[in-house]
Amino acid sequence: MGRGKIEIKKIENVNSRQVTFSKRRGGLLKKANELAVLCDAQVAVVIFSGTGKLYEFASSCMEQILARYHQTRGRLQLAAAEVQPDNQVVLHEQQPTVEIEALRHEIEELHLMNRRMMGKELDELTYNELHKLEHQLAEGLLSIKDRKEKLILEQMERSNQQEKKIALQNEALLEKIEELRQQARVSSNVENHLNLSKDCCLSSSSIHEWRSKEVASDTSLRLGISPISAIASEATKMPKLEKSNDVMHLD
């Protein structure tokens, strides 16, 4: 089922008009691009929306296409003017010449004013003209000074912000260093505690050994055996056991 024909008139509903504008603008730009690609043509489309927003499309450079358009249009107008009576042709020929002369005179005046702003070619100026020029230069200097002060303040503000940023970074680094130092202190304390525990264990074992020796010596004294004789008796027992073992092996 095909779509019905739409009456070509202004759409009163703002939302519907905006939607229709977006859709048809996209279709128009798409068709222009297809025409430029398929036919190797130079195409330029300029669209202003109802709110004054600009939309444009150009197959190459917009300025070149517009310049070509103005040149071609000017030649067409000139060709059309040549067909008309002679007085109208003279009018069309004289109008560009007058505009060119006016623009040339304006450019010369601007160059002269520029040279006078630089302190040159002041002999032909009267007192009032010199006073006016001085006033213009003074206003220009004030504007330049104001701009310089503004730039200096902006640069100082950026420098202060950079300084604050660096200060914050330094504080963060100092906190990190302090945290690492605390961790190093904790690890050192743990290591010292472990070493102390080892020393305590060694000392307790030595004390236990010393106490066992002391108990053995006390037992020997109670039995009436001197520690030296007890050690000697233990040493004499070992050969006897070895001999008994040899006898048993011979049997």
Residue 210 pLDDT exceeds 80: no
pLDDT at residue number 72: 84
Averaged pLDDT for residues 214-229: 54
- Write down the residue that tokens 């128009």 correspond to: 28
Question: In this predicted structure, what is the pLDDT of residue 53?
Answer: 85
Backbone angles phi, psi at 125, to 5 degrees: -85, 145
Q: What is the pLDDT at residue 222? A: 54
Helix ranges, 125-226 (H): 127-222
**What single DSSP character describes residue 225?**
-
The tens digit of pLDDT for each residue in 164-203 reads 999 999 999 999 999 898 888 888 887 777 777 766 665 6
CA distance 236 to 127: 142
Residue 121: pLDDT band by 50, 70, 90 thresholds?
Answer: confident
**What pLDDT shows up at residue 43?**
92
Predicted local confidence at residue 241, as pLDDT: 41
Cβ neighbours around 44 below 10 Å, total: 19
Mean pLDDT throughout 60-77? 83
User: Does position 247 have pLDDT exceeding 50, yes or no?
Assistant: no
In b/e form, how buried is each residue of 163-188, taking b as 16+ CB within 10 angstroms? eeeeeeeeeeeeeeeeeeeeeeeeee
pLDDT value at residue 61: 86
User: 35-39, 84-88, 101-105: which range is least confident on average?
Assistant: 84-88
Structure confidence at residue 10 (pLDDT): 85
What SS3 state is found at 48? strand
For residue 54, the cross-strand partners are 48
- The predicted model gives 30-50 an average pLDDT of 90
Percent of the chain at pLDDT > 90 equals 18
Q: How far apart are CA 214 and CA 201, in angstroms?
A: 20
Nearest to 58 by CA among 33, 34, 39, 40: 33
